[in-house]
Amino acid sequence: MNEQQRDHTAPPGAMRVALFVTCLADLFRPSVAFASMALLERAGCEVTVPLLQTCCGQPAYNSGDYEATVPLARQVINLLEPADYVVLPSGSCAGMICHHYPRLLEGVWRDRALELAAKTFELTVFLQEIARSKPQPIQPPGFPSVTYHDGCAGPLRESIREQPRHRRAGPCAGRYRGQRNAAGRSLLRVWRHFQAKMPEISGKMVGDKLNQARATGARILAGGDLGCLLNSAGRARRQGDGIEVRHIAELLSGNLEAPPIGEGT
Amino acid sequence: MELRSNAFLENAGEALHNTAQAERRDMIALFAPLLRSAAIAGFDGFDNLRQHVKRVRQHSLDNLYHYLAQFEQEAVHNGNRVHFARDGGELNSIVLDICQQHGARRIAKGKSMVTEETGLNAFLQRAGLDVMETDLGEYIIQQAGETPSHIVGPALHKSAGEIRELFRNKHDLGPRELPETGDLVSEARQVLREHFLKAEVGIIGANALIAQSGYSMLVTNEGNGDLCANLPRVVIVCTTIDRVLPRAQDATAMLRLLVRSATGQSQTCYTSFYSGPRRESDLDGPLETHFVLLDNQRSEILAGDYREMLECIRCGACLNHCPIYASVGGHAYGSVYQGPMGSVLTPLLTSLEESHLLPNACTGCGRCAEVCPADIPLPDLLRDLRHEETRKKLSATRWRQGLRLHAWLARHPSLYHRLTAMIIPVLHRLGRRRGSFSRLPFAAGWTSQRDFPTPQARTFMQMYQAKVKQRDEQ
């Protein structure tokens, strides 16, 4: 199996990007991964998908099992370091590689982790700041209004705040509804220990988040971290909330064929 | 206080069902960060000062025993007596001995988290002393028989109505109704004033010890610390050894960060430096003054992996910005210190066995570290404590083994992809119509509060590999 499958349609001299789709997109929402590919290709990148990718190791790491995480982190470094750039459609997974691999590893592995970190980006940051792609105006008439949920790993670890809003200028121009409580960007991490270990508390937090989103009057709640979105969508379904939950990559790519997260066919 | 941290989930459940208090917490969680950010926005160079103070604190801790010795020498020179207490019990005994030497019966006490840590009030009361907390918040919770819910605002969990009811039960109000909040404050002030005048011993805390001068620094908004320190004949300052700083300007630099981070003020109403007993030329002041400096695990923390926690300046900003603290309130933590700083400190001061749930009360959102004026990487320290929890096998076996299995599978990509390619389509077929599962056997915690979204038809890797294969065949 060829690990670095190239998309041969890319123009010569294009930026070579390895896409790490993240385990959640792989398992639960391939449409996010395909949308990310489409966006990167549209931005003129040559996209490869390393076939031996699985998970960045956050579940074990966040629960405190560093011993189980170290070999996985080394495996990810081995897999991704040949690329010019590594892009992930998740702020928390990008943060794992950029900030936590160097913290976790030692010696030569730490050096390699730092080198990888220097060329690893969350999707919207990469599109905005590295590829400098122009958002495509693909706004259909009557496109619903959107509110954006800042995943907590985004603004803090990756300084992702303006990029997704800027990108939104594409499909959702004029449709953005800010959330009232700017300080309450929240905190709906999933696939880590918290939702499962302390469900009642996280239930309150995601309930509050949905109240804020609903108060904007937006039809779509978008975000850049599938973990947060699965949590929000699951809670919205439980409450019978009408708000649609989608990953920002799907909105930006303009391909909304897949039903929103948590909704049936 | 009795440690109840391993009942965190039960405590939190109770707190979540108390809707009136939950609404108060939501309000505080909304306003406290706004106050802080407004104070910092109006103050040039907060981040530079933060880095400066961090270096000073690191230097002080690197040379802790040197500066402690200098402080002791200078404080003794100023006429103080300096005592070192290895643990809470020692501090309590030293304080009781001093009170008994003076035949004291009434103690006026300023706010001090250190004495909460040692359980001083209960200890002195058991010995027959009349101890009265004089900080309004501390006074309220003392009357209510409760513990602080917040290191800065110990009675923030109480509404004015609840405090009015408390005073009705505890004070002899006669026909007075105390309709306004101001009336409640006046009522407490009246009771406290009498006690200040009668107390033989005053006990206060300290925000910093200044090695160069042998002074202690204390900030309050009520001035009660100064009354405790000036009216009684004897004053005892109780604090911990890690509060020592080299110079007065280091203490005031820290103060600029502390006050803005704690309450959003640019300065507290009262900032006092205490030098020692009354000198011959002084008109007033105490006749005898003591410092009791508590270690209680600080030396161990200093020598270990969590020493950055000793740089904490007790502002409470991490509590005010923590979504978990906002959701469940301070009492849920079942410990003296709450929120992110408490979840690091409690296991270090007690044991991880007794408090290992606290480091799990964290989503890793990082707001605490972002606002911490001491720049302490709280989420990292909390994760490191979870690492210890894992190594000591304190977390549930099923949970630990499940995550280990997942990490092992992730290290075997072919197997991982084959397995997930079998499971995901099944899950999809089961849930595609509804779009989500309301119950899943392996995710009971998750589905107790929310549905579990159904995966799309196949895994990305299945679809992508099929696409690659198709292309290769062409």
- Rounded average pLDDT over A2-13: 54
- d(CA B160, CA B172) in angstroms, rounded, equals 18
User: For the ranges A190-199, B55-64, B132-141, B213-222, which has the lowest average pLDDT?
Assistant: A190-199
- d(CA B241, CA A177) in angstroms, rounded, equals 51
User: For the ranges A140-154, B192-206, B280-294, which has the lowest average pLDDT?
Assistant: A140-154
Percentage of residues in chain A with pLDDT exceeding 70? 75
Q: How many CB pairs under 8 A join A and B?
A: 226
Enumerate residues 337 to 396 of chain B having a beta carbon within 8 A of any beta carbon in chain A: 359-367, 369-370, 380, 383-390, 395
Q: Do A208 and B26 touch (CB under 8 A)?
A: yes
Kindly provide the b/e burial profile for residues B320-332, where b requires at least 16 CB atoms within 10 angstroms of the residue's own CB.
bbbbbbbbbbbbb
Strand partners, B452: B437
pTM for the model: 0.92
Of residues B16, B404, B446, nearest to A195 (C-beta): B446
Secondary structure class of B83 (helix, strand, coil): strand
- d(CA A187, CA A203) in angstroms, rounded, equals 11
Enumerate residues 144 to 203 of chain A having a beta carbon within 8 A of any beta carbon in chain B: 152-153, 156-157, 181, 183-184, 186-189, 192-203
Q: Do B413 and A5 touch (CB under 8 A)?
A: no
Kindly report, residue by residue over A108-129, the tens digit of the pLDDT.
Answer: 999 999 999 999 999 988 998 8
Enumerate residues 103 to 122 of chain A having a beta carbon within 8 A of any beta carbon in chain B: 103
From residue A66, give the alpha-carbon distance in Å to each of A38, B75, B357, B391.
35, 46, 18, 9
Q: Sorting pLDDT into bands at 50, 70 and 90, what band is A173? A: very low
Residue B86 φ/ψ, nearest 5 degrees = -70, -40
Enumerate residues 17 to 36 of chain A having a beta carbon within 8 A of any beta carbon in chain B: 21, 23, 25-31, 33-34
Q: Do A181 and B33 touch (CB under 8 A)?
A: no
Kind and range of the H or E run holding A236: helix A226-239
Q: Which amino acid belongs to residue B182?
A: G
Q: Sorting pLDDT into bands at 50, 70 and 90, what band is A148? A: confident
Q: Do B456 and A233 touch (CB under 8 A)?
A: no
Enumerate residues 58 to 77 of chain B having a beta carbon within 8 A of any beta carbon in chain A: none
Query: In sequence order, what DSSP letters do the residues of B131-178 get, joined into one string?
Result: EEE-SHHHHHHHHHT---SSSS-TTTT--HHHHHHHHHHHS--TT---
Q: Report the chain B residue with the minimal C-alpha distance to residue A201.
A: B327
What pLDDT score does A237 carry? 92
What pLDDT score does A142 carry? 65
Of residues B33, B387, B431, nearest to A64 (C-beta): B387
ipTM: 0.92
What pLDDT score does A3 carry? 43
Instruction: For residue B262, give both structure tokens.
Output: 């704690």
Kindly give the residue spans of alpha helices, DSSP state H, lying in B245-336: 248-262, 298-303, 317-320, 323-328
- d(CA B197, CA B376) in angstroms, rounded, equals 41
Percentage of residues in chain B with pLDDT exceeding 70? 100
Q: At what angle do helices A199-215 and A226-239 cross, to 10 degrees?
A: 80
Mean pLDDT of chain B: 95
Least Cα separation, residue B28 to chain A (angstroms):
12
Asked if A139 contacts A115 with a C-beta cutoff of 8 angstroms, the reply is no
Q: Report the chain A residue with the minimal C-alpha distance to residue B454.
A: A262
Residues of chain A positioned with their CB less than 8 A from the CB of B26: 208
